[in-house]
Chain A
Amino acid sequence: MAMTTLRHSDLQTLPISFTLNGKLQELDVEPHELLLDVIRDRLGLTGAKRSCDVQVCGACTLLVDGRPVSACTTLAFEVRGRSVMTIEGLAENGKLHPLQQAFIEHGGFQCGFCTPGMILAAKALLDQNPHPTEEELKHFMHGNICRCTGYKKIIESIMAAAKNISEATH
């Protein structure tokens, strides 16, 4: 494998703009910068967590144009022109999202490390399938790992949130 170290004169920066939790962000990134590092270290939003670093655990889940991605394995330039949501952008005007409320009421978390990714993945699911069966829920969420709860209460939380969202809109 050809291996060289790029010279300083080869440095490449890409100007990107995207919306982060509804607000326009404009910054320069290098091609190799990962979305997770940009969001956490440069923009200071630490809700998304680095854990497995190989797209297995879901702790770094963010929504890009409403769809869940692993920020640990997404190059930052890929979100140019797109809309990114982190857990910090979910509550509106201090009012928790029904999913956040349901996770509190149904004990959907213990240590909380997986919770931002869990809730964002669940939001992506409910946005495209407001009334999932438990099987559909498990299939969609199986890439989000929790080592505390045993999942039962997470499933209960999401099912309760689905019900609450649907009742609130009817």
Chain B
Amino acid sequence: MLRRFRLEEPTSVAEVSELLGRFGDSAKIYAGGTELLLAMKEGLVQYERLVNIKGVTYLNEVKQNNGEVHIGALCTHRELENSPLVKEKLPALAKLEENVANVRVRQVGTLGGNLCFAEPHADPGTLLIALGAHLVAEKGDGKREVPAESFFVDAYETALEPDEVLTRIIVPVPAQPSGICYMKFGYLERPSVGLAVAVKLNSGKTAIDDIKIAVGCAGPAPKRVAEAEAFLKGKSVDEATRTIPEAGETAGRASQAISDLHGAQDYKEHIVQVLLKRSFQNALSQCT
């Protein structure tokens, strides 16, 4: 049962920002509603006003811009899973989107909404961190870029200011030879652990030139596990493959896993280790 609220229907980002600034905590942006409406139905949050952002038409485009893919915040999961550009340039993201929740959620749920709601057991933030994505936040006439890895502050909390609007997600197209993989594991509707690896090899494909690893769902917010990255970076492919269980243990400890409905802390740390091994192998196999 939803309580009454008023609906605002602005058509520009500036208007959205102005409404958020004017009504403060009593107003909330509404996009797909797949998470917000559930929390409102449960009575966990109440808003006097919802600001329907879907009238801002240009926020649902996917475009290529030099070496980057620019994704409008209002793109739905379904649009991204089927986008030819995303499939070609960021196949790991297309695959992740194809496996978000179920087809009805993907049909209306937006990438921007998913990131801004910052529900801990979500998929996209983790991969976007490993991909080195930047999120564009706008208000009035101001605009700034926030690296994905500093966007998530805590459970349900982001780096956005109260009157800022997430408008675009900028993802650099990975330089070759590289491999990207996102894997998740869970036994409830949402994942217990999600893990993303982005590995870049040297030109001879014998050593790890660079690697980014991010863990999501385990703790309150998705995060990079720099300790595990540092352990693997610079190693030969053979040595990295041999010592990946050790990297997995490090990643598990660094993931700041917490015990919750989706698993105990040590269980989640173990899953991190397993997923790192599998996704690292998968990412390496893409470096052809």
Contacts and interface: CB of A to CB of B under 8 A. Distances in A.
B5 interface: yes
B7 A74 contact: no
A69 B189 CA distance: 17
B67 interface: no
Contacts of A77: 7
A1 interface: yes
A11 interface: yes
Contact of B48 (A2, A53, A58, A73): A2
Given A69-B107, A75-B37, A142-B102, A56 B7 contact: no
A53 B41 contact: yes
Interface in B1-21: 2-7
**From DSSP, what is the main secondary structure of chain B's interface residues?**
mixed
A33 B4 CA distance: 8
A38 interface: no
A38 to B, nearest CB: 12
Size bin of chain A's contact surface: 35 or more
Interface residues of B, number: 27
B7 A1 contact: no
Contacts of A2: 24-26, 48
Contacts of A32: 2-5
Given A32-B2, A54-B38, A73-B38, A68 B107 contact: yes
A140 B24 contact: no
A6 B4 contact: yes
Contacts of A143: 101-105
Nearest to B45: A1
Given A6-B4, A12-B7, A31 B50 contact: yes
Contacts of B202: none
A1 B25 contact: yes
Contacts of A70: 104-105
B2 A55 contact: no
A148 interface: no
B34 A55 contact: yes
A73 B105 CA distance: 10
B255 interface: no
Given A69-B108, A74-B33, A121-B103, 15 more contacts: A1-B46, A2-B26, A4-B26, A11-B4, A12-B7, A31-B50, A32-B2, A55-B101, A55-B104, A55-B105, A58-B104, A73-B38, A75-B37, A142-B102, A143-B104
Interface of A: 1-4, 6, 10-12, 14, 30-34, 53-56, 58, 61, 67-70, 73-75, 77, 121, 124, 139-140, 142-144
The 5 closest A-B pairs by CB, nearest first: A143-B102, A31-B7, A2-B26, A32-B2, A2-B25
9 contacts: A10-B6, A54-B38, A56-B102, A56-B189, A69-B107, A74-B33, A121-B103, A121-B104, A143-B105
